[in-house]
Amino acid sequence: PALAAPDYAGAKASLKAMIDADPNIGPTMLRLAWHSSGTYDAMTKTGGSGGGTIRFKEELAHGGNAGLDKMVAKLEPIHTQFADVSYADLYTLAGKVAIEAAGGPTITWRAGRQDALSPDAVTPDGRLPDADKGKGPGANAKHLRMDVFYRMGFNDKEIVALSGAHALGRAHPDASGYDGPWSPSPTALNNAYYNLLLNVPWTVKEWKGPEQFEDPTGKLMMLPSDIVLIQDKAFRKYVVQYSKDNALFFKDFAAATSKLFELGDRKSVV
């Protein structure tokens, strides 16, 4: 008899149930999906979501992945229940489910990623974006373009669209070192991030942690890599567009996110 297809619908329902039980899990699921995909290098065709390598302790030890070991552990029972669904598919599917649970656009997602069997497939540390290169706006803009997003095959518009995910979740001092939410509604995806960037007088936070910016209430924050999106002319024009048009943001965000989750080796498509 033919083998039964992996139960993607069941895995999706279980992921959704996790978010329903604790909406704050959603943004971390998206971060896991993002970081599992964001190691891709278009020149060498290495990295990306294809191998599910973020489950290995060698990749979880990378600086940008601090704290994600907890989410990997939380998803382990779902993988055990739906063992035919690869880790690589499960992690990217979690990102799709998280975006949609947050009221975001529908993300086109295809199954068929095959897991790497050993940590040999883990790419070198340093491929994920840094919040601050410590040398001013020019260095941060160059880092986002040359070190990270252009390497994956994204353009300036896609960089700004993908940054809109910062409407979700918050930074945690025990993970990234930074602290606080980007928006007042960290479990709802919308274009608030762009409006906040443009219209709030952001100032450098006085504290013992790394440089970050705060709003006048001290409750919201932006990273140097966020602020550079309004300091850099080419980036800023897209921030302005998305701040005025949530539907345009959703359209471009969905396309860029689907592209992101596809990065990496894929043997088959179902």
The two three-digit tokens of residue 229, written as one number: 């999106």
The CA-atom distances, in angstroms, between 42 and each of 47, 121, 263 are 9, 15, 9
The values of phi and psi at residue 204, to 5°, are -70, 130
What's the gap between Cα 87 and its chain centre? 17
What is the radius of gyration, based on Cα positions, of the chain?
18
Cα dihedral value 27, 246, 111, 54, nearest 10:
-30
Catalytic residues: 35, 182
Beta-bridge partners for 171: 180
The two three-digit tokens of residue 255, written as one number: 């396309």
